[in-house]
Amino acid sequence: MDATMWKNKKVLVTGAGGFIGSHLAEELARRGAEVRALVHYNASGSWGWLEQSPQAAAMQIIAGELQDRDSVRRAVDGCEVVFHLGALIAIPYSYQAPVSYVRVNVEGTLNVLQSARELGCRRVVHTSTSEVYGTALYAPIDEKHPLQGQSPYSASKIGADKIAESFHCSFGVPVVTVRPFNTFGPRQSARAVIPTVISQLMAGGRVRLGNLLPTRDMNYVANTVEAFIRASEVDAAIGKTIQFGSGTEISIGDLARLIAKLMDRPIEIEQTDERQRPAKSEVERLIASNALARELLGWRPRVNLEEGLVATIAWFEKNFHRYKTAIYNV
């Protein structure tokens, strides 16, 4: 795709202070887009990961709440493309505060879609998650796989996906639903397994984890960002759900050992009860078919697992002070 097509294009990224959102907002700014970045309002006035971004000066950064329709409408107004990444994440916390997930993920998505409809946006790229599939009933998982709400988080994302689908079918809103599998890379929260392992190895001592047997399809963040952008460029993607994954799987235990090998550190793993999901909530296997993304978007992951881990470890070596390794980040 021609990167110059983004020159001066007005775009909104919700969740722009977060992990994937900050990387996406930066890449769009590098391509010359006029980026409006919606970050979560907080008392300290922090912009999240955009706080120290070299691209932040080129963005219009605004704070707001996805649950507040007025905030969302003001953010959407004047934007041609909306990348909707804002969401409440973390599966363990969804066991404790399920209503918050409905309000942010379902109602927040509704606010984005209603605003996009009223204001005539040319494209909404709505972010789903591989967690909506639950444990794989067949593998590799394709976009036709049944949806299974095995956690309040995944159920809220299924609800958001269906709201997006309904707005396309009912009102013709030009929505693409993108479904990343397990994205990883610099800036990711310690609530995710790779930052958990890296940070604990850097701190020394045992690496505390939950279930070591489930498999995940790990995809480096630069691959995911490129896929988001492709999904916003291809007209044939409108109305479809397209998933982004590497097409390979690795168990949590093997992943931890691979990270230790790349860091050249010994590893002793301790399984703890507090890090275990409830039995029926655990997703035992995730592995993507990326055939539709290859066919429709011309996308395939460029950075493989080991390359991505090396880059992520290098980032952590400079940013280890940001992470709390002595506690379990719910």
pLDDT string in tens for the chain (330-residue length): 566 799 999 999 999 999 999 999 999 999 999 999 999 999 999 999 999 899 999 999 999 999 999 999 999 999 999 999 999 998 999 999 999 999 999 999 999 999 999 999 999 999 999 999 999 999 999 999 999 999 999 999 999 999 999 999 999 999 999 999 999 999 999 889 999 999 999 998 789 999 999 999 999 999 999 999 999 999 999 999 999 999 999 999 999 999 999 999 999 999 888 887 888 888 999 999 999 999 999 999 999 999 999 999 999 999 988 887 767 676
Q: Give this prediction's pTM.
A: 0.95
Distance CA 156, CA 205 (A): 36
Confidence (pLDDT) at 1: 52
Is residue 39 a contact partner of residue 79, using CB atoms and an 8 Å limit?
A: no
Is residue 212 a contact partner of residue 253, using CB atoms and an 8 Å limit?
A: yes
CA 208 to chain centre: 24
The letter for the amino acid at 74 is R
Is residue 252 a contact partner of residue 214, using CB atoms and an 8 Å limit?
A: yes
Place of tokens 């309040």: 152
Confidence (pLDDT) at 87: 97
CA angle 171, 116, 161 (to 5 degrees): 70
CA angle 322, 67, 225 (to 5 degrees): 50
Place of tokens 């409830």: 278
Confidence (pLDDT) at 175: 98
Environment class of 192 (CB within 10 Å of its CB; exposed 0-12, middle 13-18, buried 19+)? middle
Distance CA 225, CA 232 (A): 11
Homologous superfamily (CATH) for 3-185+219-247+287-303: NAD(P)-binding Rossmann-like Domain (3.40.50.720)
Alpha helices in the chain (DSSP H): 19-30, 69-76, 91-96, 98-101, 108-119, 152-171, 193-203, 221-233, 252-263, 291-292, 305-319
Confidence (pLDDT) at 124: 98
Confidence (pLDDT) at 241: 98
Q: Where are the domains of the chain?
A: 3-185+219-247+287-303
SS3 string of 205-219? CCEEECCCCCEECEE
Collect all residues with Cβ–Cβ distance below 8 Å to 127 and sequence separation of at least 6.
Answer: 15, 20, 83, 84, 85, 87, 177, 178, 180
Q: Is 14 helix (H, G, I), strand (E, B) or coil?
A: strand
CA 291 to chain centre: 20
Distance CA 17, CA 27 (A): 14
Distance CA 94, CA 154 (A): 9
Cis peptide bond N-terminal to 54, omega within 30? no
Confidence (pLDDT) at 3: 61
Helical packing angle, 221-233 and 19-30, nearest 10°: 60
Place of tokens 């990224």: 13
Confidence (pLDDT) at 273: 80
Helical packing angle, 252-263 and 193-203, nearest 10°: 40
CA 300 to chain centre: 17
Distance CA 119, CA 7 (A): 21
Confidence (pLDDT) at 90: 87
Confidence (pLDDT) at 207: 92
- The conformation of residue 144, written as its DSSP 8-state character, comes to T
Length of the chain: 330
